[in-house]
Amino acid sequence: MTRNDATDKYSFLALHDYGMGGSWWWVRARSAREVRETFAWVEVVTDPKTVARFKDMGLEEVDIDAPRMPPGLDGLRAERDAQHGCEGFGSLADREVVYLQRQGAEEHDESVVYLMEVGSDGRRVRQVELAEDDTALRSGPDDWPFNPPVADLFDPALVDQEINRSTFEEQWARAHRRDTDL
């Protein structure tokens, strides 16, 4: 984050991490939260080494109040605009940890239920896969080759997927590690 006195805005390093890569921008805004409230699936990177590394790389810089955004960022703003005003918008955004339950996934069997412990950046911390045959497999970051954000905590749809910590911990305790405890 760097200050721009002329506009009372700061420059934030913003990342849209899509797993095998990411898109980066400098976004001038009044706060990191404003960046996350304005663009879906974008995180504000605050690690000093990462910020320093990107400082002189010539990344595109945009003002959060500009009417037009560069390709990539424009679609993320449109997605967020559609969510504003929806019940539950941003209700999970300020939490350090959120527990979610999701039915299936695009690339996996729809009969599998995923219980996820998700950090404030939307990335999985721990996960339990519950199969129809009552098999429960647990995994963590060391088990995943990539760990991009799986949840945008401003998304109002997540409210219906939230579960409590005790439900997650109960399933975590009974689950086996993939390929090691089976």
Q: What is the DSSP string of 163-180?
A: --HHHHHHHHHH-EETTT
Residue 22 scores a pLDDT above 80 = yes
Element (H, E) at 101: strand 97-103
Residue 19 scores a pLDDT above 90 = no
pLDDT of residue 141: 93
pLDDT of residue 124: 97
Tens of pLDDT along 30-88? 999 999 999 999 999 999 999 999 998 999 999 999 999 999 999 999 999 999 999 99
Asked if 146 contacts 20 with a C-beta cutoff of 8 angstroms, the reply is yes
| Domain boundaries defined on the chain | 2-83, 97-177
Tens of pLDDT along 78-120? 999 999 999 999 999 999 999 999 997 655 567 899 999 999 9
- Going by pLDDT thresholds of 50, 70 and 90, the confidence category of residue 181 is very low
pLDDT of residue 64: 98
Q: Which of 99, 104, 141 is nearest to 116 (CA)?
A: 99
> From the CA atom positions of the chain, what is the Rg in Å?
18
Would you say how long the chain is, in residues? 182
pTM equals 0.86
Q: What angle do CA 77, 141, 95 make, to 5 degrees?
A: 50
Task: Quote the DSSP letter at residue 156.
Answer: G
